[in-house]
Amino acid sequence: MANVITYEQGTKQFQGVFKELWTVNLTGIDFGDAATGSGTFASVDSTVPGVVKGDMVLFASISIDTVDTALIGSVTADNVVTMTILNNTGGAVNHAAATVKLVIGRPSW
């Protein structure tokens, strides 16, 4: 039996799941060096008013090429989001300053 995938395009996907959503556009984010070696990282904290521990960074995107690196976001303190670049290469990585876009949600449960 084939898998059946259903989806709904539009703005109603999260109705009732999150009681608050933030769309965040952070410019000039510079991660600095992520040291040589697989599994190393560089992090940057940014102020996002109103978020609290327990809120979820649902989506994160960055405006530069991040070949073999991954961008992760998390709410680490009230009003603070930490963005981390994970270096999965064999060498050091230093990305240029970039724009980071986040969607953050506060679960309704």
Model pLDDT, residue 11: 67
The answer as to whether 7 is a domain residue is no
For the segment 82-102, what is each residue's pLDDT rounded down to a tens digit?
A: 998 888 777 788 888 889 999
Contact 60, 94 (CB under 8 A): no
Which range of residues forms the domain containing residue 29? 19-107
**Tokens linked to 64:** 């530069």
Stretch 44-60: mean pLDDT, rounded?
Answer: 94
Contact 87, 70 (CB under 8 A): no
The answer as to whether 34 is a domain residue is yes
The answer as to whether 23 is a domain residue is yes
The answer as to whether 1 is a domain residue is no
**Tokens linked to 48:** 């996002």
Model pLDDT, residue 35: 75
For the segment 9-41, what is each residue's pLDDT rounded down to a tens digit?
A: 666 677 789 999 999 999 999 888 877 666 678
Stretch 56-66: mean pLDDT, rounded?
Answer: 90
Contact 41, 54 (CB under 8 A): no
Q: How many domains is the chain partitioned into structurally?
A: 1
The answer as to whether 5 is a domain residue is no
Residue 10 gets the label, from left (phi > 0), alpha (psi -120 to 50) or beta, of left
Compute the distance between CA of residue 25 and CA of residue 29 in angstroms, rounded to an integer: 10
Model pLDDT, residue 70: 84
The answer as to whether 60 is a domain residue is yes
The answer as to whether 54 is a domain residue is yes
CATH of the domain at 50: 2.60.40
Instruction: Please tell me the pTM assigned to this model.
Output: 0.81
Tell me the sheet residues that pair with 32.
Answer: none
The answer as to whether 42 is a domain residue is yes
